[in-house]
């Protein structure tokens, strides 16, 4: 199918673009670990040696070529900071981030959708207004404020002191819940407002359609209307949003949570790599996110065409 071939080509072009731009950024404008690694009284010669060891003095295209090869073979090298193999670092930190962010992500979206449907069904009523105002309030509070406030309220003797301030010593379901609750709460609180509002807009548009109003006038049950008609037609934008937010939530979103709560996931690894000028790790993370996003985009496009064939015509 030529269409799939074109989509594949797009994906590859995207990946090449992402890797090139981010590599460019890192090499010319980004982490330079040299001065971190020279000792206390470095001579210019020693500085040169360290740069050579780090591979900073090789030609750009050669380094870019190496980078592509590394990504393809998943031979990601060693961290410049800790010497640990980057793939090992990813292996131990990605599952942690998934475990950290998944509950909040899923809950945030499900709850948002649920509230949105309620609001859309009872549009104009006090419930709608309540949900709308609550979501506006939610959208107006910065993630930072939520994290600081929650930590004080739930994890310290100044508040309820029910949960740990930081850490991730997960050995079973109980300890998992113990450590994941506050971050999940933070994530849900910060995304709920946006999710509800966004989903409400979509669902409302669908719910206002003539055929839906007709069905409603004829007394069909809300559940049937909502799920069989409204939701099905809103599926694309909903899925679009979910797909787009996946890489964002998992890398950028987890960054703050993990550094604040001391959770050793991919966000913390990225943050540490940024603050310690660790090129190999950053290259790997950027490559990963690029792949994720390219996948998300491609899948999204495919979905569009499946559900709405009109868009494939020229």
- Binders in 187-216 for other proteins, by CB under 8 A: 197, 201, 205
> Which tokens hold the place of 159?
């508040």
Query: Residues 2, 245: contact at Cβ < 8 Å?
Result: no
220 or 248: CB nearest other proteins: 248
Does 125 participate in binding other proteins (rule CB under 8 A)?
A: no
| CA–CA gap between residue 27 and residue 25 (Å, rounded) | 6
β partners of residue 85: 78
137-151 b/e (C-beta count within 10 Å ≥ 16 → b): ebbeeebeebbeebb
When binding is defined by CB under 8 A, the residue of 3, 8, 75, 156 that contacts other proteins is 156
Does 182 participate in binding other proteins (rule CB under 8 A)?
A: no
Does 98 participate in binding other proteins (rule CB under 8 A)?
A: yes
Ranges within 240-279 binding other proteins (CB under 8 A): 244, 247, 251-252, 255-256, 259-264, 268-270, 272, 274-277
Contact region with other proteins (CB under 8 A), list: 19-27, 61-69, 110-118, 221-229: 19-27
Query: Residues 81, 271: contact at Cβ < 8 Å?
Result: no
CA angle at 19 for the pair 17 and 21, rounded to the nearest 5° = 65
Quickly count: other Cβ atoms within 10 Å of residue 219's Cβ: 6
Does 168 participate in binding other proteins (rule CB under 8 A)?
A: yes
> Which tokens hold the place of 156?
């310290």
145 or 223: CB nearest other proteins: 145
Contact region with other proteins (CB under 8 A), list: 83-91, 106-114, 209-217, 221-229: 83-91
| CA–CA gap between residue 58 and residue 80 (Å, rounded) | 16
Residue 224: CB minimum distance to other proteins, A? 25
When binding is defined by CB under 8 A, the residue of 67, 71, 76, 81 that contacts other proteins is 81
When binding is defined by CB under 8 A, the residue of 57, 75, 84, 308 that contacts other proteins is 84
Residue 59: CB minimum distance to other proteins, A? 20
Does 61 participate in binding other proteins (rule CB under 8 A)?
A: no
Q: How far is CA 146 from the centre of its chain?
A: 18
């Amino acid at each position: 199918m030529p269409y799939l071939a074109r989509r594949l080509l797009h994906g590859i072009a995207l990946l090449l673009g992402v890797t090139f731009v981010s590599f460019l950024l890192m090499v010319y404008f980004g982490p330079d670990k040299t001065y971190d690694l020279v000792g206390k009284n470095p001579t210019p010669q020693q500085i040169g040696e360290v740069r050579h060891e780090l591979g900073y003095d090789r030609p750009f295209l050669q380094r870019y070529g190496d980078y592509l090869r590394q990504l393809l073979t998943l031979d990601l090298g060693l961290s410049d900071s800790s010497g640990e193999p980057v793939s090992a670092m990813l292996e131990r930190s990605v599952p942690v981030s998934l475990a950290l962010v998944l509950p909040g992500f899923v809950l945030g979206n499900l709850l948002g959708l649920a509230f949105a449907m309620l609001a859309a069904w009872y549009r104009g009523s006090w419930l709608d207004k309540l949900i709308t105002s609550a979501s506006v309030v939610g959208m107006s509070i910065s993630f930072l404020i939520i994290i600081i406030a929650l930590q004080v309220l739930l994890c310290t003797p100044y508040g309820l002191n029910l949960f740990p301030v930081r850490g991730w010593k997960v050995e079973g379901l109980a300890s998992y819940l113990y450590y994941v609750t506050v971050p999940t709460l933070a994530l849900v609180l910060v995304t709920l407002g946006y999710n509800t509002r966004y989903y409400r807009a979509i669902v409302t548009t669908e719910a206002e359609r003539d055929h839906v109003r007709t069905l409603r006038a004829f007394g069909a049950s809300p559940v049937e209307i909502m799920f069989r008609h409204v939701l099905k037609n809103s599926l694309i934008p909903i899925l679009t949003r979910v797909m787009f937010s996946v890489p964002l939530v998992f890398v950028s979103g987890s960054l703050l949570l993990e550094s604040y709560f001391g959770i050793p996931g991919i966000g913390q690894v990225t943050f540490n790599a940024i603050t310690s000028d660790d090129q190999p790790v950053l290259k790997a993370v950027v490559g990963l996110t690029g792949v994720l996003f390219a996948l998300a985009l491609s899948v999204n496009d495919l979905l569009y065409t499946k559900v709405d064939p009109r868009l494939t015509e020229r």
